[in-house]
Structure 1
Amino acid sequence: MSKIDYTRVLPCLVTVANLLFGFLAIIFIIDSQVNLGAGMVLLSVLMDSMDGKIARKLKANSDFGKELDSLSDIVSFGLAPAVMIYVVVYQTHLPFWGLWLSAFFAICGALRLARFNVLNVSDYFIGVPITFAGGFMALLLLFAQTIPWQVFPVMMLLLSVLMISSLQVPKLGK
C-alpha cells in the first residue's frame, strides 16, 4: 500500500470544496434560499482563488488538478449562476428567452474553460474568466430586490460574450 502524498491531495480538496459549494448553490436555489445560494457561489470563488495558490506553494500542480478545477468551475460558475438567475429572475420575467440565455451563459463558460485548458498562456487570460462572470452574477443576485430585473439579461449576455471573446485580461495575484 502506497503512502498518501498530502501535499498533492490538499489543493484537490480545496477544489472539491469549490464543487461542493456550487452544488449546494443549486440545491439552495431550488429550495428558494436565494441568499444562501448566492453565498455558496461566492464561497466557491474563494476556494477557486485558493486552490491554485496552494498547489503552487506546495509544488503540487498536476494535470489532474487542472482538469478537476475546470470541472468544478463549470458547475460553480457556469451552471449554478445560470440556474439561480433563471429561477429567481427569468422564470417570472423572461421564461422562454431566459432559459436560452441561461443555457448560453453555461455553454460560453464551458467553451471558455476548454479553451483555457488547451492554450498555454500564462501572462493573461483570454476572455473574462468564468470565476469572475459567475461570481458577479451571484453578487448581482444578492441585490435582486433592489435592481431592475432587466439588468440580469444584459449582464448575463455581456459576460457570456466576454468569456468567449479574445479579450486579454491581466492575471492579478499570480
Structure 2
Amino acid sequence: MNKHFERFTRSHPLFFNWRQLIPSIVTLAAMLSGFLSILLTFEGMHKGNPDLYRLSAQLIMLAMILDGLDGNLARWLKGQSEFGAELDTYVDLTAFGIAPAILIFAVTLQSKDPMWRVLLPSAVALSGVVRLARFKVRDPLRGQGGYAGLPITANAGWVSMLVFISQTPPYDQFSLNQGWMAILFLTGTAVFITLQVTNLRYPKPTKKAALFIPCMFLVGLMFVPGKQLSVRAAVLMLSLGVLYILIGPLFVKGVEVHKARREARLAAGLPQEQEPDEDEDEDVDA
C-alpha cells in the first residue's frame, strides 16, 4: 500500500509538493516577522514609544528561530528545493540585514550629527547584501560545510538582544544612545559586520538539534510576561552568541569542511569538486 501511495503522490504535484510547501510557509513567516519588525521600529520612532523597539527586537529573534526551523524541516521532510533556498536569501536580507540596520538607526546616536547616525546602519545593510551575494555565488551548498565569514544572523542577534535588554525596565538605564554601553554596542556591531565579509570560517549551529532546540526555548522565554525571566533568557542567548563569534572558527577543521561539502554534493546529486592546491584552498572554500 505504501508503494501505491508513493506512486500516487509522485503523479500528483499537489500531494508531492507538500514537503516543500511546509518549510516555505515557515520561511515566509520569518519574512513577515522581519517586515513587522521594520514597521514597529518606524512606529516607535513616530510615536516616541521605546516599547515598540523592544517588540521589534523580539520579532527579529523570532525570525531567526523560524529561519533555522525552515531549513531543518526541509531536511527532515526531504523537501529541499531551489525555490526555498532563494526565498531564504531574501528573508535573510530583510530580517537580518535591513531590520537590524533600521533598529540601530532608531536607538543610537540620536543627539549626534545626522551623517554619523546614518553611517553605521548603512554599513550594516551594505555588509549584509555583500555577505548574502557572496554566499549565494560562492557557496551553492548553502553553508552545509560551514560558512565563509560570520553568518548575518550573528550580528542581527547582537543588535536585537542588546536593544531588547536596554528597553526593558529596570535595565533601560543602560542606554544605547550614549555612554559605555553605546560604545560597546556600536563597536561590536562594526566588528561583526566586518567579520561577515571575511574568509574566516564558522560552523552551522542550526544543524545540531542539541544547540538549536535550547535556543528556541530561550527565545520563547523572551515573550513571557515576567521581565526578569525574559531578560535573563536574552542575556544567556547573547552570551552564547558572543561565544559562538569568538570561538566558532576553532571548531571548523579543513577536513571536516571538505567532508561535509562532499556529503552535501552527493545528497544534492551534484558533481564532486576537484581537490584544490594548498595555496588555493582558502579561495575555493570561501
TM bin, normalised by shorter chain, reads over 0.9
SS of 1:123's partner is coil
Paired residue for 2:165?
Answer: 143
Change (3 A) 1:153 1:173: closer
Q: Of the two structures, which has the highest relative contact order with CA contacts closer than 8 Å and spacing of 6 or more?
A: 1
Q: TM-score, normalised by structure 2?
A: 0.58
* Structure 2 residue 87 is the aligned partner of structure 1 residue 68: yes
Give the match's secondary structure for 1:91: coil
Structure 2 residue corresponding to 1:101, chosen from 113, 116, 120: 120
SS where residue 92 of structure 1 aligns?
coil
Q: Which amino acid aligns with 1:167?
A: L
Q: Report percent identity of matched pairs.
A: 33
Deviation, 1:70, is 0.7
TM-superposed CA distance for 1:143, in Å, is: 2.6
Instruction: Please show how residues 114-133 of structure 1 align to structure 2 within 5 Å.
Output: 114-120=133-139, 122-133=144-155
TM-score (norm 1): 0.92
Question: Is contact 1:90–1:99 with CA below 8 Å preserved after alignment?
Answer: no
Q: What is the number of residues matched between the two proteins?
A: 174
Partner of 2:202, secondary structure, is strand
* 2:27/2:88 contact within 8 Å kept: yes
Give 2:200's aligned amino acid: L
1:131 CA drift (Å):
1.2
| Gap regions ≥5 residues in structure 1 | none
- The answer to whether the aligner puts 1:3 opposite 2:14 as a matched pair is yes
1:58 aligned onto 2:77: yes
How far has the Cα of 1:3 moved from its partner? Answer: 2.2
1:170 aligns with 2:203: yes
Q: Which has the larger radius of gyration?
A: 2
Contact kept? 2:150, 2:202, Cα under 8 Å? yes
Unaligned runs of 5+ in 2: 1-11, 45-51, 167-171, 176-180, 208-286
2-side partners of 1:74 and 1:43: how far apart?
Answer: 15
Does the residue aligned with 1:164 lie in a helix, a strand or coil?
Answer: coil
Q: SS at 2:110's partner residue?
A: helix
Report the CA distance shift for 1:84/1:92 in structure 2 as closer, same or farther (over 3 A). Answer: farther
Q: Which moved more, 1:30-39 or 1:150-159?
A: 150-159
| Residues 129-156 of structure 1: per-residue CA shift (max 9 Å, x gap) | 0111112211111133325222232122
Which residue is 2:32 aligned to? 20
Preserved CA contact (<8 Å) 1:8 1:55: yes
Question: Which runs of structure 2 are paired with 1:86-97 in the superposition (5 Å)?
Answer: 86-93=105-112, 95-97=114-116
SS of equivalent residue, structure 2 residue 68: helix
> Which AA in structure 1 matches 2:74?
A
Secondary structure of residue in 1 paired with 2:80? coil
Deviations 1:20-76 (A, max 9, x none): 000111111112111100000010011011010000111111111111001011110
Contact 1:98 1:153 survives alignment (8 Å):
no
1:122 counterpart SS class: coil
